[in-house]
Amino acid sequence: MSSKDYLIDLLKENEVFLEGDFTLSSGKKSNYYINMKKAITEPEILSTISKLITEKIADDDVDKVAGPALGAVPIATAVSLESKLPLLMIRKEKKGYGTSKLIEGELNENDKVIVVEDVATTGGSLLKAIKAIQDNGGEVVRAFVVVDRQEGASEEFEKAGIKLEPLICVNEFFD
């Protein structure tokens, strides 16, 4: 079973949404936290997410699926396995050893790529990953996030000419 309602139920059952005082990766303060790291360690949640995204891209011309490290890599991997699309992993920064690559996996010129992320607040980390793909010859055709906190990410994506497609908006969780 793969539906938005089922995903919301799974996230509730696994206590992914926490209430309290939290500082987010963007530096903003919040009275709730979405613990997607807990969610993406649960096989049923990952499977549901990957099925929902794969259904959405079934009729698209897509070459690769990408996710920025760390939180999106399990999601991108699950989507890769479900959709049979090759995987790209986007590092936060180039490592200073080995191949020193920012993108792991084979990105070819003009590859059509979907990107996935666990949670979006301002969208900064995912936009940075998208820029890395674009700077290396790829074309980002769709961007998915499991949960949109509805704090400006969609607007930032719109400015960049890309539509952010959340599986869940945070207000749907609290309804």
Question: Residues comprising the binding site for orotate?
Answer: 121, 149
Question: Residues comprising the binding site?
Answer: 91-92, 95, 117-125, 149
- Phi, psi dihedrals of residue 106, rounded to the nearest 5°: -95, 110
Which of 158, 146, 88 is CA-nearest to residue 120? 146
Alpha-carbon distance of 131 to 165, in angstroms, equals: 17
Question: Residues comprising the binding site for 5-phospho-alpha-D-ribose 1-diphosphate?
Answer: 91-92, 95, 117-125
Alpha-helix runs per DSSP H in the chain? 4-13, 36-39, 43-57, 72-83, 124-135, 153-159, 170-174
